[in-house]
């Protein structure tokens, strides 16, 4: 996609404009919609998987890579995407990501073979890894830290936090009525409109004038994160104790260790200055974000399986079942932004994670002969409230006190921990659920009521482990996240970076 001409808005080399940007709320709409597209694309293909497998002749063992290819590229390139935005210009990088995302979405919808679709999903993940940190960095540097930024991030969180549920809903509707290709095509007009509007509403800004890119550090961190995400998403198939999984995890650890040494000792302008972790807000928020991803993002996977494979819902019915979740998470995110300004982020975040744990524990009671209204609706609404109350404050804390020069890096970090948390959670919970299912089906006929009972029991155990992740998040929040008063800016102590 051609980059639209540069607008007449002024450019800021390192900091946002001294006076509030009069177009900042319109810019937020454009940025939030782009972020929503990125988030929902991780889940929109879930209910379309059977149709895609049938049309493109995917082997059973390869279907997972329709989802995992996106997660792998997204999680692996987020830090590089965030740092590149700081160095080359946030608006420019954001628009480049929109162009790549649109082009690869079109390619995915037109893909005649399984291999080409997987390649398109990798391209979508790369585009998402460019868009997400650049967009959040623009929000962070456009809005003044405190009540106004909290409100903006509440709107951001309302859309981004509900993106997973909206993706499942939209995926079901499009697959049923238009065909699976439209779960890809739908991204194209959204990205085109966002790219056209961006120059008129979004100021250009960057963190550094001309420092160059740390190519060695970028290659090491991207390689390390990509191998780590690959090891996690492949662990359930290969086995956690297999030589393959252990070797991949070891390789990821070596690459990330060498990356840390390079950043500390060998480069003048590192792609990720490790001193940023002296910011207690950023460090604690990313630890909690990892657990939020592990507890919540895999929930969509298991609920979709329960609805379709146990209760017999169609793709459209499964998608529509997420509507209450979407509404509840949007309402909760809006309320969370107001509460953070009044009482600080820590109690709101702890409350959100506690609600998440309660919702997941309620899911441990689902029966094989359950109903949506009686067994799924209440837990999903409670978990949705937990998502809204968790996503907004953890994002606010993660970017609080970060210098404008490193806002893209901070934005990339919070997105990275959520993605890795989601991959880790899905890998662990899938292993737990499948081990329980195999145990219950041992010596029995695989099918009919026995299969439904075994699958339900496996899902229950997975939800219980997910609740444990959320409880651990509550403990880290209470022990590590700085205590705040009326706003993050005014009352949360931040260690200088």
Give the pLDDT confidence of 220-255 residue by residue, as tens digits.
Answer: 888 888 888 788 777 777 888 889 999 999 999 999
Q: Which helix (H) or strand (E) holds 204?
A: strand 204-205
| Cα–Cα distance for residue pair 113/359, rounded to 1 Å | 40
| Cα–Cα distance for residue pair 313/310, rounded to 1 Å | 8
The answer to whether 272 and 409 have CB atoms below 8 angstroms apart is yes
The mean pLDDT value of the chain amounts to 81
Mean predicted confidence (pLDDT) in 165-184? 82
At residue 205, what are phi and psi to the nearest 5 degrees?
-155, 155
Pick from 120, 34, 22: nearest CA to 69 = 120
| Cα–Cα distance for residue pair 382/286, rounded to 1 Å | 23
At residue 281, what are phi and psi to the nearest 5 degrees?
-55, -55
Q: CA neighbours within 13 Å on the CB side: how many for 107?
A: 17
Mean predicted confidence (pLDDT) in 277-290? 86
Pick from 116, 102, 107, 115: nearest CA to 181 = 107
Residue 13: is its pLDDT beyond 50? no
Give the pLDDT confidence of 339-395 residue by residue, as tens digits.
Answer: 988 888 899 999 999 999 999 999 999 999 999 999 999 999 999 899 889 988 888
| Cα–Cα distance for residue pair 286/410, rounded to 1 Å | 9
Residue 8: is its pLDDT beyond 50? no
Pick from 261, 249, 248: nearest CA to 217 = 261
């Amino acid at each position: 996609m051609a980059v639209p001409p540069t607008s007449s808005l002024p450019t800021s080399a390192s900091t946002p404009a001294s006076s509030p940007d009069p177009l900042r709320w319109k810019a937020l709409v454009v940025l939030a919609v782009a972020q929503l597209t990125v988030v929902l694309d991780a889940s929109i293909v879930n209910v379309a998987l059977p149709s895609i497998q049938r049309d493109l002749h995917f082997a059973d063992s390869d279907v997972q890579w329709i989802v995992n290819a996106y997660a792998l590229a997204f999680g692996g390139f987020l830090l590089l995407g965030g740092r590149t935005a700081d160095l080359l210009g946030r608006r420019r990088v954001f628009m480049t990501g929109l162009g790549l995302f649109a082009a690869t979405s079109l390619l995915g919808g037109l893909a005649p073979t399984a291999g080409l679709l997987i390649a398109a999903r990798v391209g979508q993940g790369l585009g998402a890894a460019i868009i997400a940190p650049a967009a959040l960095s623009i929000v962070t540097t456009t809005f003044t830290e405190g009540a106004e930024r909290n409100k903006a991030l509440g709107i951001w969180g309302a859309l981004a936090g509900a993106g997973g549920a909206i993706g499942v809903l939209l995926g079901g509707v499009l697959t049923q009525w238009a065909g699976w290709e439209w779960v890809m095509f739908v991204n194209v007009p959204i990205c085109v409109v966002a790219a056209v509007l961006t120059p008129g509403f979004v100021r250009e800004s960057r963190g550094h004038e001309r420092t160059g890119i740390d190519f060695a550090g970028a290659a090491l961190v991207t390689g390390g994160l990509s191998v780590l995400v690959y090891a996690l998403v492949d662990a359930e198939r290969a086995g956690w104790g297999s030589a393959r999984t252990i070797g991949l995890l070891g390789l990821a650890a070596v690459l990330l260790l060498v990356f840390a040494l390079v950043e500390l000792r060998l480069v003048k302008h590192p792609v990720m200055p490790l001193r940023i972790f002296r910011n207690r807000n950023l460090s604690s928020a990313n630890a909690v974000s990892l657990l939020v991803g592990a507890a919540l993002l895999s929930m969509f996977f298991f609920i979709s399986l329960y609805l379709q494979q146990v209760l017999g819902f169609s793709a459209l019915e499964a998608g529509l079942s997420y509507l209450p979740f979407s509404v509840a998470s949007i309402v909760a995110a809006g309320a969370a932004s107001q509460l953070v300004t009044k009482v600080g982020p820590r109690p709101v975040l702890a409350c959100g994670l506690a609600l998440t744990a309660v919702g997941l524990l309620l899911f441990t009671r689902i029966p094989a002969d359950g109903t949506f209204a009686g067994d799924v609706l209440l837990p999903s609404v409670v978990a949705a409230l937990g998502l809204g109350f968790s996503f907004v404050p953890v994002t606010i804390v993660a970017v609080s006190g970060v210098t404008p020069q490193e806002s893209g890096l901070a934005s990339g970090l919070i997105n990275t921990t959520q993605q890795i948390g989601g991959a880790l959670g899905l890998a662990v919970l899938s292993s737990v659920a499948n081990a329980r299912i195999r145990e219950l089906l041992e010596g029995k006929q695989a099918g009919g009521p026995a299969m439904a009972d075994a699958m339900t029991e496996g899902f229950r155990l997975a939800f219980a482990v997910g609740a444990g992740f959320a409880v651990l998040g509550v403990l880290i929040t209470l022990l590590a996240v700085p205590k705040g008063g009326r706003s993050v800016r005014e009352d949360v102590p931040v260690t200088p970076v």
